[in-house]
Chains A and B, each alone.
Chain A
């Protein structure tokens, strides 16, 4: 079973130490939500997990192997990363976009690659859009297509940076449900989010970051305490106004 571990990891963003001595572990088959106010170091933490930012000190381990010493090609097959502001720079089709997820497995597209992409697009209700240019998708459709691209890699670890940002509540629920399913399929999933309601609803555990340090980690009830919310976010009250997805037939 795969496991991503941070051992006292610090990381820099330019000269600024954006992450300070963070230790945590993400197990296969589980979903960890990284929460915290703006500038807390969530994105830096996720980019460090993806191998995009080398740790300034400490170690990132994937199944006991130091991530920085893992060959880039192997890392690409095992870890998929969904960037916060990801977009398609050319109007390639949704099909070609999802097919990019197979690049780490070889540069020639095989029948197996096509079957995996087709299965992934079907699972995310994207087959009807497969010939649509990625630049002509709505925000929600693009998010789903980008997620399908990441899932088409069939990674062991899936990292998503604010996958529900700029989505309406319904599409936000859809994307989080898809990430939950990925965890159910055995992936270790890490999601950066500002939506504490979604985090509580879909994550097994929450990691609360504040000023680069890990303030709390555990089930939502233990992490989102009134004290933590006041200290890290500077808010009080119930931040967890919960929404439910309703049937398509009952929508306006």
Chain B
């Protein structure tokens, strides 16, 4: 990544993070938010900033970075600018995992049951995709298997909603389908972060192979890269990261699709520098989207997943339109 872009994205991230600490139902001046962050100032402010907004901002940052990184990695792996983390079924299956845990009553037994259900769901989806697509990592098989698994997970989630025992259960299930960062705590941060870090590590290890894949899988293999290993690393990394993200915040769409697309021209279209740029950009976008969700309807908070879909879907349409006019 060029130094200018890294500095620009870094500054945008710091700005978005500070804005996330200061903006909301109670507006807090940046200086007060900073002093509260370091344990000084008014006690109520400290509670709002440290207990409520800080974990929320950290989660938005981590989830956005995970989605941006995962989207860039999948688009590079599949050599398709329309790929996104939902494509391999990880987010749909994570939502299903969480819903099943809730539905079966396990959620009431221990606090980690819901998020763990999400992560297990994502891992099960990857296992199934692997089984369907085979070991080769061929991109068409991966896409088809991912679409099949995502559809199945979506259908099963709808089935659970259909037979929800009571309205409370139905609304809880809806939460996983819409995605939100409201009322998240540090427990959610600590639960998701290790899985996201492991996922990012798996993905970043494959970064040079993504550059080589620019010339197709055969050339990448003759440049010394094992394409099966590359596909496995990226798919598992995406499942861990996106599974953890969905497990703590529900399904948040379009960040993984849009972010790499916005930043690709700024890194000279190379898949490798796009990974980190997209992680930073995804974090910035998600932080701002979460602030928007808070401010748009303060009384009855707009769900983050709804907002990203409302903004992201028209962008997706624009993408298809411009691709049709300008095929690469």
Contacts and interface: CB of A to CB of B under 8 A. Distances in A.
A96 B268 contact: yes
B218 interface: yes
A114 B202 CA distance: 29
Nearest to B327: A135
Contacts of B269: 90-92, 133
Interface in B195-223: 208, 211-216, 218-219, 221-223
Interface string A35-53: 0000000000001001110
A81 B222 contact: yes
B226 interface: yes
A47 B197 CA distance: 38
B268 A100 contact: no
Interface string A93-132: 1001100100110010000000000000000000000000
A133 B214 CA distance: 13
B271 interface: yes
What's the dominant secondary structure at chain B's contact region?
helix
Contacts of B215: 83, 86-89, 97, 100, 146, 149
A210 interface: no
Nearest to A89: B79
B216 A100 contact: no
A157 to B, nearest CB: 11
Interface of A: 47, 50-52, 72-73, 75-77, 79-81, 83, 85-93, 96-97, 100, 103-104, 107, 133, 135, 146, 149, 153
B188 to A, nearest CB: 35
B214 A104 contact: no
Contacts, number: 78
Contacts of A135: 328
Contacts of A83: 215-216, 218-219
A143 to B, nearest CB: 13
A153 B219 CA distance: 12
Interface in B80-114: none
A155 B264 CA distance: 31
B270 interface: yes
